[in-house]
């Protein structure tokens, strides 16, 4: 376990576990994944969950914790989260970003507090509570903790969905990360933008740089032809290479034609939660899941919270964190009890 201060007397054990996870320095570009995997293995042992480790690239392990369902015919529910966090500029933080400092208002300051170590622990603590209540659910639940999401998932989920170990999960539906919401409304993401990252190399004498026109209404193929044209016009020695080029956008239906959405929205309505479907403004590992044929929703139960992912002084209030566990305690049994679908009979 990472070194950390003694939790205040009376702190909720789930909050203590969250702060311990935040103290593991899984920060890019050199994340301490080994410590994170050991941390997750211990929790799996405590909860009686099966644990599988899949090394998808050297030093890049996907950790799968499994709670077996009662009906093996049914496809599983996948709860995905990533273990890495983005870099920090400590001079702009009021507290050590890996201390998980908690102030008198219960705000927990740490890199990853919102993006997205909160969700990984909320999944686990919801399952802890359900198991303590003696619940058994029809569908198997797999929790996948993946590396390198913050740098595109190329040595994480992108490789994992092509592996036989992923196929063996028989995923029917997945939950992944969303964003905080500064209002009472919770935002649920059913698709995402298609990122195109490219590097252009121009050899020769230095000159001035040009600012590319944003790709707003132009079709992607036309945009790539424009890049090719720019490089050709610049003369010899000018090349470009895509570092990320996503061409398989997928949408998860947010109407009653999708039984997973129908159940998700029903539970939210029962809990008097206002949810707003949106397209994610950036890109997450959900895109790999959807491209693999698994419908997925991006959802982080953090409302009344400023959006601080990748920002200085990222924090999450412990009351919001604990309410998120309550929400998953209601959501997970409902999703894992969706009746057999036509492709499962």
Q: Of 115, 125, 148, 149, which is the active-site residue?
A: 149
| Token pair in block for residue 305 | 């919270």
* Residue with token string 């999944």: 123
- What is the number of other CB atoms lying within 10 angstroms of the CB of residue 213? 9
Please, what is the end-to-end C-alpha distance for the chain in angstroms? Answer: 44
Known active-site residue 91:
no
| Token pair in block for residue 46 | 């405590």
Best CA proximity match to 171, nearest among 161, 181, 158? 161
Residue 186: CA atoms inside 13 Å, Cβ hemisphere, count?
22
Please give the Cα distance from 239 to 220 (Å, whole number). Answer: 19
Q: Coil, strand or helix: which one is 207?
A: coil
Known active-site residue 41:
no
Cβ-Cβ contacts under 8 Å for 127 (sequence gap 6 or more): 47, 49, 67, 141, 143, 332
- Backbone dihedral region for residue 262 (phi beyond 0: left; psi -120 to 50: alpha; all else: beta): alpha
| Strands 76-82 and 107-109, bridge-based pairing | unpaired
- What is the number of other CB atoms lying within 10 angstroms of the CB of residue 21? 24
Q: Of 84, 148, 285, 314, which is the active-site residue?
A: 84
Please give the Cα distance from 332 to 122 (Å, whole number). Answer: 11
Calculate Rg over the CA atoms of the chain.
Answer: 21
- What is the number of other CB atoms lying within 10 angstroms of the CB of residue 290? 22
What stretches of 186-336 show up as alpha helix (H) in DSSP? Answer: 220-234, 259-270, 286-291, 318-335
Please give the Cα distance from 47 to 160 (Å, whole number). Answer: 25
Active site residues: 84, 149
């Amino acid at each position: 376990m990472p070194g950390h201060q003694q939790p205040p007397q009376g702190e909720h054990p789930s909050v203590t576990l969250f702060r311990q996870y935040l103290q593991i320095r899984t920060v890019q570009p050199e994340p301490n994944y080994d410590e994170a995997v050991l941390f997750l293995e211990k929790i799996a042992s405590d909860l009686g969950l099966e644990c599988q480790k899949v090394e998808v690239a050297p030093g890049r392990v996907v950790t799968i914790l499994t709670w077996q369902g009662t009906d093996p015919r049914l496809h599983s529910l996948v709860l995905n989260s990533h273990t890495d966090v983005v870099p920090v500029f400590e001079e702009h933080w009021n507290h050590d970003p890996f201390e998980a400092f908690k102030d008198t208002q219960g705000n927990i300051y740490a890199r990853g507090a919102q993006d997205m170590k909160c969700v990984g622990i909320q999944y686990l603590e919801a399952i802890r509570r359900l198991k303590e209540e003696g619940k058994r659910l029809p569908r198997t639940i797999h929790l996948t903790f993946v590396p390198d999401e913050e740098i595109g998932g190329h040595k994480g989920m992108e490789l994992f969905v092509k592996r036989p170990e992923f196929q063996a999960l028989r995923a029917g539906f997945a939950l992944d990360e969303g964003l905080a919401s500064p209002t009472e409304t919770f935002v649920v993401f059913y698709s995402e933008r298609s990122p195109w990252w490219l590097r252009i190399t121009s050899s020769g004498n230095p000159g001035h740089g040009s600012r590319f026109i944003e790709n707003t209404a132009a079709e992607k193929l036309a945009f790539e032809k424009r890049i090719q044209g720019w490089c050709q016009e610049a003369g010899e020695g000018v090349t470009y290479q895509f570092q990320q080029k996503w061409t398989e956008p997928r949408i998860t239906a947010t109407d009653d034609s999708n039984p997973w959405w129908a159940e998700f929205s029903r539970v939210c309505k029962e809990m008097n939660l206002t949810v707003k479907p949106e397209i994610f403004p950036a890109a997450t590992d959900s895109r790999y899941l959807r491209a693999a044929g698994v419908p997925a929703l991006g959802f982080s139960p953090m409302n009344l919270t400023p959006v601080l992912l990748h920002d200085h002084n990222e924090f999450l209030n412990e009351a919001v964190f604990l309410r998120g566990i309550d929400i998953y305690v209601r959501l997970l049994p409902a999703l894992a009890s969706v009746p057999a679908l036509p492709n499962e009979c």
